[in-house]
């Protein structure tokens, strides 16, 4: 979650608050379907639609953030309407151990991008969107792919975590808040590029262990 929050804020230039609802959607999918391809595709589609809307309608970071919050609340409301039961429980199946490999895979994927020719363009978009456009970078493409890919990963995270949770419409907000906190702490270290995401990943691992001890 922290890596997704950081990527959205640094590349797409907004705080993606829809990730809470997207996480919850993935958890519901785990209850009703055993196919992980469904949350991967659904998350990508939701992220793509959000990026499409933001790039064409929103004119500021605040507007984009509010739009993402609206999507997250809409998802939560739809889940409440469709699933009348307060909570769902998955028994005899817990895939939460897949979260660390998923986070590591996401980080290694970022690392491979940054050391490839695409990494330089991504750094331009991170640093200054207008400057990146002056250098001929298709910024809309990078922003759209970032929002879509991170939404896909977060929905898959919800799918994996579902067996360890009481599934309800609002279960994603705690993870979103934790992700924002980790991203904010990492931002204070003033690292750039892959070093920032390295700090996010390490802090996420540390905070997960601390929270486990506190619980």
Return d(Cα 53, Cα 74) in angstroms, integer: 15
Average pLDDT, the chain: 89
pLDDT classification of 215: cutoffs 50, 70, 90: very low
Give residue for tokens 């896909």: 152
Q: Are 21 and 128 in contact (CB under 8 A)?
A: no
What is the reported pLDDT for 78? 93
Question: 146: closest CA among 104, 201, 198, 109?
Answer: 109
Nearest-angstrom CA–CA distance, 94 and 90: 8
Share of the chain above pLDDT 90, in %: 56
Per-residue pLDDT tens digits for 171-189 = 999 999 999 999 999 999 9
CA–CA–CA angle 113, 192, 98 (5° rounding): 55
pLDDT of residue 58: 92
Higher local confidence (pLDDT), 67 or 103: 67
- Residue 183's contacts (CB-CB under 8 Å, 6 or more residues apart) are 2, 5, 6, 9, 200
Query: What CA–CA distance (Å, rounded) separates 150 from 190?
Result: 22
- The string of pLDDT tens digits covering residues 116-155 is 888 888 888 888 888 888 888 899 999 999 999 999 999 9
- What pLDDT is attached to residue 86? 72
CA dihedral defined by 19, 23, 24, 30, rounded to 10 degrees? 160
Give the model confidence (pLDDT) of 7-37 as tens digits: 999 999 999 999 999 999 999 999 888 788 9
What confidence category does residue 5 fall into, taking pLDDT thresholds of 50, 70 and 90? very high
* Interaxial angle between packed helices 139-161 and 172-187, expressed in degrees from 0 to 180 and rounded to the nearest 10: 130
């Amino acid at each position: 979650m922290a890596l997704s929050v950081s990527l959205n804020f640094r590349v797409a230039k907004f705080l993606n608050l829809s990730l809470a609802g997207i996480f919850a959607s993935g958890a519901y999918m785990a209850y009703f379907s055993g196919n992980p391809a469904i949350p991967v595709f659904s998350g990508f589609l939701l992220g793509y639609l959000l990026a499409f809307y933001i790039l064409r309608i929103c004119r500021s970071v605040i507007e984009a953030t509010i739009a993402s919050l609206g999507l997250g609340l809409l998802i939560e409301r739809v889940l409440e309407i469709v699933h009348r039961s307060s909570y769902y429980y998955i028994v005899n199946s817990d895939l939460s151990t897949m979260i660390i490999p998923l986070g590591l895979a996401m980080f290694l994927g970022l690392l491979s991008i940054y050391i490839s020719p695409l990494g330089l363009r991504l750094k331009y978009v991170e640093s200054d969107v207008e400057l990146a456009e002056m250098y001929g970078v298709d910024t809309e493409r990078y922003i759209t792919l970032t929002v879509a890919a991170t939404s896909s990963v977060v929905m898959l995270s919800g799918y994996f975590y579902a067996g360890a949770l009481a599934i309800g419409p609002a279960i994603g907000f705690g993870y979103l808040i934790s992700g924002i906190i980790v991203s904010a702490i990492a931002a204070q270290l003033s690292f750039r590029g892959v070093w920032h995401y390295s700090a996010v990943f390490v802090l996420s691992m540390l905070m997960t262990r601390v929270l486990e001890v506190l619980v």
